[in-house]
Structure 1
Amino acid sequence: MDDYRAVRELLPAPPLTPDVERAGRDRLAAAIARERLRKGRRAARWTGLGLGLAGAAAAAVLVVVPATAPTVPPARPGVVAAPDGKQFLLAAAASVTSVPDAGAWWGSTLVNGSEFREPGQGYVLRQSQSQETWIPADPEGRTWYRWKYLGAKPATPQDEAAWRAAGSPESWTYAKKAPGLPTEDAPLGVVRAAPGKPETFSTEDWDFRIMLADKPLTKMNEVPDTPEGLRALLGAPDDQATIDNTARLLFFAPVTSRTRAAAYRLLASLPGVAAVGPVTDVLGRAGQAVEYRSAEYPTTPYAGETRTRLVIDPVSGMPLSIETRSVTDGLLLEYTAVQDSRWTNDNPLKETK
């Protein structure tokens, strides 16, 4: 599938005036032409929630292409409703503006994973991996990565008891491709308990740009920092897709603190975002959460109805985790937890190779 077409499908845009539409198409065409001339580079793409949850690299290209969509009534500037229970999003928006957003590198460490039943269906396994990414503010710089498979283990104390009763196996073999993370053993139908060795590498394959503004993604000063502006940029014909786009921006893009605050205020105003209250995220951290029905499907081959939960630290305003569960039995289908994310002038991976 063409990369740009895939992104257009994932990020449909709200209606624009004819002049803005023509200007946007002209900028997009020029940007695509420049990319085709750039040797040794290829445009990566957003792949929805699966991008972070499946352990893909940080969001690389956010292409906003004008598209036909139902007219959305204009919002009153500065007015953002926060239905009962979602006020913590506004508190997070106020807190996150104090987080520094200047530096030579955007560093993030994510833990991605999923839960699934062992072959005999006797207990649930949780499989995970860590992904450390360092994106340069310099658009010509190399992006650095460190990946590590963290292994698989019983998901809960009850599952651990069933695992011990089954002889404490260190690997599990499925009849077909193994569920969970796309490890080298997965095509063989094998899931292993043992962690892997870390792998560190750098690449120039990603061109971190936002095409509409023609700015590096690590320098997102042109991205709106108001809820109304973000809705115009990330909005879609339905609220579900707008929520998905906003969540991806919060969790996977090195946006400024003001833009992150605007994203929280936008989420607080959208119907379909329901407050959950105090929760513990997948890494055991305390936070406040909202849930919604995603317009996207989890990367796992699950056909049932799902709910996606965003867990936020209301004190710092930083996102903690994004988790997708089965509505039927609450099984944690996939997740991304943000262990750390920050702007800094130092890249600890740069001297490792």
Structure 2
Amino acid sequence: MNPMDQLRAARPAHLDTPVDARTRAAELSAAMAGPRRDEARRARRTRNARPAWVLGGLATAAAATAVAVTLTGTGGPVPLTTPHAALSAPSSDRPVVRLSAKQVLLAAAESSLKAPATTGAYWYIESEDGSAYEAGDKVRYVVHSTGRGRTWVARSPHGTSWWVSQDLGAKPAPGSEDAWKRDGSPTTWTIDVPAPKADDKGASKRIELDDKAGRPSGNPINVGDKVFDLAGRNVSVAELRSLPATAGALKARLLQGYAGHGTESGESMDADSWLYQVTSGLLSDMPVKPAVRAAAYKVLAGLEGVRSLGEVTDALGREGQGIARAENWSGGDFERQIIIDPATGILLTDQIVAVHPSGAYAWAKPGTATWWHAVVKAEWTDDKPVKVDPPGGEPVKAGSTDSEPAKA
């Protein structure tokens, strides 16, 4: 039985069932719990159109805000947990199929080539992001802060791309409820997190978490026609659509941006870890052609150190095949994990999981997901953005300004 036949046999039947917008919205409401609203606004006002789907070093990711779907080895397998529940093979009477990482990634590449070519005025991304923090005054426990992001990226270089984020509140992580009650059942938390810049070692910043959901906030995200950060460089939709469609050429193109450190921090990063991160980000959120997606999966398959986690469940309860690679940061040893549906070539979730954390992350038990980015929808559409006007106000349908040139 070849890898694709094995994957078809193992694939949950519900993944072949189309999900309508209303069902997706209901699943979103049930699954999310919200990012920091003030940080979210600041994240989108960066100078070079670097959307929050750009992933930097661990310190940056752990303090990242929600938005709108990437070598030092650590040895054996990591005991896995998702942000919301234990990651494990789904309970089923069918036999568990464990493929190698290369088999899974090459199957995803094959599926990507079969995906229909679609078009539209906007590339639409709907996602959930979250972070785990240690909190509590009387007793320490883990709090999850998650949120929803929606992004409309204009295909036209003269269009305005728009991003809307909503803080849906924070809550104790599963398994932390008893400790939270012993702490007095607080509804707000003050958290000290590492400073996002690697050269601020030892520094921290204070964030406030609240269990109440905030109103949507948003703003334009493009600077001219530049709307994505790829490999440390701002690029346009047209540049993404012209990326090379072979693994060797794509790898060489991406490595042009490698400078020995993360794309969003000065923290040292080896080339393969950097390439794993950047390539995963491309697969997660960017409107590349099917052949380029296939090439990206082949780039990942060719990296040393990738391992298969088998069939796992992501933060939104979706089943897929897990792929992991060890990464060493100033905060200890972690794994960058992606969860994909190889039968469709869709990257469901990208997350950072603690292996041997230290320093500011010493509280995280091995297997704890400290940050995650789950893509709910990524597709071309002709539907105009649902803007927020004014920022922090109620969403309104976009008007004729969508065809006007963006202002830097």
Report the TM-score when normalising by structure 1: 0.69
Partner of 2:248: 228
- Which residue of the other structure, out of 196, 209, 214, is the alignment partner of 1:196? 214
Taking the TM superposition and a 5 Å limit, the aligned residue runs for 1:219-298 are: 220-235=240-255, 238-294=271-327, 297=329
Deviations 1:244-266 (A, max 9, x none): 22112112322122211111111
Residue 88 of structure 1 corresponds to which residue in structure 2? Answer: 104
In structure 1, C-alpha distance between the alignment counterparts of 2:120 and 2:176, rounded to whole Å: 44
Deviation track 1:147-186 (CA, whole Å, cap 9, x = no partner) reads 1002111211x21233234332211234xx46799xxxx9
Whole-Å separation in 1 of the counterparts to 2:230 and 2:183: 53
SS of 1:305's equivalent in the other structure is strand
Q: State how far apart, in whole Å, the 1-side matches of 2:277 and 2:235 are.
A: 22
Structure 1 equivalent of residue 189 of structure 2: 172
* 2:349 equivalent to 1:349: no
Question: 1:285 Cα deviation (Å)?
Answer: 1.1
Q: CA deviation at 1:219?
A: 5.5
* Matching residue within 212, 216, 227 for 1:208: 227
- What is the aligned partner in structure 2 of residue 311 from structure 1? 339
Pick which of 210-219 and 254-263 moved more. 210-219
Instruction: Give 1:139 deviation, angstroms.
Output: 1.0
Match of 1:116 among 129, 133, 137: 133
Q: How does 1:97-112 map to 2 (within 5 A)?
A: 97=113, 98-112=115-129
Whether the aligned pair in 2 keeps the contact of 1:306 and 1:326 (CA below 8 Å) is yes
TM-superposed CA distance for 1:337, in Å, is: 0.8
Q: Is 1:148 aligned to residue 148 of structure 2?
A: no
User: How big is the shift at 1:42?
Assistant: 5.7
Deviations 1:7-54 (A, max 9, x none): xxxxxxxxxxxxxxxxxxxxxxxxxxxxxxxxxx96334853468872
Aligned equivalents of 1:266 and 1:247: distance in 2?
10
Deviation of the 1:99 alpha carbon = 4.3
Q: Secondary structure of 1:133's match?
A: strand
141 and 57 in structure 1: CA distance in 2 versus 1, 3 angstrom threshold: farther
8 Å CA contact 1:118, 1:124 repeated in 2: yes
Report SS of the residue matched to 1:147: strand
For structure 1, the 5+ residue unaligned runs are: 1-40, 60-82
Find the aligned partners of 1:179 and 1:43 in 2 and give their Cα distance.
23
Alpha-carbon distance in 1 for matches of 2:210, 2:101: 41
TM-score (norm 2): 0.60
Q: Match of 1:320, as an amino acid?
A: L
Is the CA contact (8 Å cut-off) linking 1:93 and 1:262 kept in structure 2?
yes
Contact 2:320 2:339 in 1 (8 A): yes
Give the match for residue 353 of structure 2.
Answer: 325
What is the alpha-carbon distance in structure 2 between the residues aligned to residue 124 and residue 227 of structure 1?
Answer: 40
Work out the CA distance in 2 between the residues paired with 1:248 and 1:264.
12
Do the aligned partners of 2:49 and 2:221 also contact (CA within 8 Å) in 1? no
Aligned residue type for 2:377: D
Instruction: Give 1:279 shift.
Output: 0.8
Give the one of 366, 372, 376 matched to 1:339: 376
Instruction: Provide Cα deviations, 1:81-122, integer angstroms capped at 9, x if missing partner.
Output: xx9343121222222231444221100012111101113453
Equivalent pair of 1:246/1:263 in contact (CA under 8 Å):
yes
Q: Secondary structure at the match of 1:208?
A: strand
Aligned length: 278
Show structure 2 runs of 5+ residues with no match. 1-45, 70-98, 197-203, 259-269, 357-364, 388-395, 399-408
Cα distance in structure 2, aligned partners of 1:89 and 1:258: 14
* TM-aligned CA distance change 1:141 to 1:187, over 3 Å: same
Q: Distance in 2 between matches of 1:215 and 1:170?
A: 41
Mapped to 2, the partners of 1:211 and 1:321 lie a distance apart of 18
Distance of 2:178 and 2:247 partners within structure 1: 48
The alpha-carbon distance between structure 1 residues 153 and 214, as it changes in their structure 2 partners (threshold 3 A), is closer
Matches of 1:48 and 1:203 in 2, distance apart? 16
Kindly indicate whether the alpha-carbon contact (under 8 Å) linking 1:103 and 1:344 is maintained by their aligned counterparts in 2: yes
* Partner amino acid, structure 1, of 2:146: S
